[in-house]
Amino acid sequence: MTKLAQWLCGLALLGSAWAALALAPPGLQPPAPLRQALLPLPVYLLVAFGCYSLATVGYRLATFNDCEEAAAELQEHIKAARADLRRRGLNI
């Protein structure tokens, strides 16, 4: 099972459990304090996921390694490609 399928199954399970509790018939509804906390729960989870995503991207960006050797090698490849193109008659 792919990671996407695992996430979708988990979201479907949580979503159906939330819908069963939030949209229960009047005789089977949870107590009022639980219901008041349960109804905005998807919005809270979405905001928490957004905060986690921003924090993860920020951390990975802050700890990103510079590759000086790879950059120099890439510049050499670019110079070689330009020289080859000039040799073939293409002016850059």
Q: Does residue 87 sit within a domain?
A: no
| Assigned domain for 83 exists | no
Section 17-42 average pLDDT: 88
Residue 13 lies in a domain: yes
Residue 89 lies in a domain: no
Cα separation, 89 vs 10, in Å, equals 59
Contact criterion met (CB below 8 Å) for 35 and 41: no
Question: Is residue 91 situated within a structural domain?
Answer: no
Domain count of the chain? 1
Report yes or no on 20 lying in a domain.
yes
Does 45 fall in a domain?
yes
Domain that includes residue 57, residue range: 3-66
pTM of the prediction? 0.61
Note the pLDDT of residue 91: 78
